[in-house]
Amino acid sequence: MPRQSLLRLIKRWKRYVPRKDRAGTVRRNTRGVYVLYKLRTKKSELHYQVVYIGVAGVGKTGGGGIQGRVRTHDRRIDDWSHFSYFEVHDNVTKEEILELEALLLGIFSDDGRIKLANKQGGSRKLSQLRKPSLWKDN
């Protein structure tokens, strides 16, 4: 009998991996959501400030998955020290991964404590859900 998954979307995850350890942490072609952080010290306490939220495994070629996407940020974003990733199950679609990204960006894009390097406009479909005509129960 197949083992029941604990979560519907997330297969496994790892949090606050140091940038220097990225190569051996994530398997190639891993699909899901990742977050880049900058480690800061405030009043002698460590804080991880979110600087980027991204997805992997939604393109035509996959591009090496989360491992490949995180590697590309070495050239594009200098100011990060750690990352977390959330691998999705094989049956999670590309559209669902993009919906997760849109949800996270929607939550964090206007938070003054977070300095996101990616400030894309968000999801067109998510914006459409704000229309009152869609609020009626079917």
Instruction: Report the C-alpha gap between 118 and 101 in whole angstroms.
Output: 11
Tally of CB atoms within 10 A around 9: 17
Tell whether the model's pLDDT for residue 34 goes beyond 80. Answer: yes
Q: Which phi and psi angles does 68 have, rounded to 5°?
A: -65, -40
Q: What is the model's pLDDT at position 4? A: 72
Confidence bin at 122 (pLDDT 50/70/90): low
Locate 28 and state its tokens. Answer: 């190639």
Q: Report which of residues 37 and 135 the model is more confident about.
A: 37
Residue pLDDT, tens place only, 40-90: 888 889 999 999 999 998 886 556 899 989 988 888 777 899 999 999 999
| Cβ proximity of 88 and 30 under 8 Å | no
| Cβ proximity of 17 and 82 under 8 Å | yes
Q: What is the model's pLDDT at position 137? A: 62
135 Rama sector, left if φ>0, alpha if ψ -120 to 50, beta otherwise: alpha
Q: Which phi and psi angles does 16 have, rounded to 5°?
A: 55, 50
* Lowest pLDDT segment from 60-74, 104-118, 123-137: 123-137
CB burial string 41-58: b at 16+ within 10 A, e below: eeeeeeebbbbbbbbbbb
Q: What is the model's pLDDT at position 116? A: 78
Q: What is the model's pLDDT at position 85? A: 96
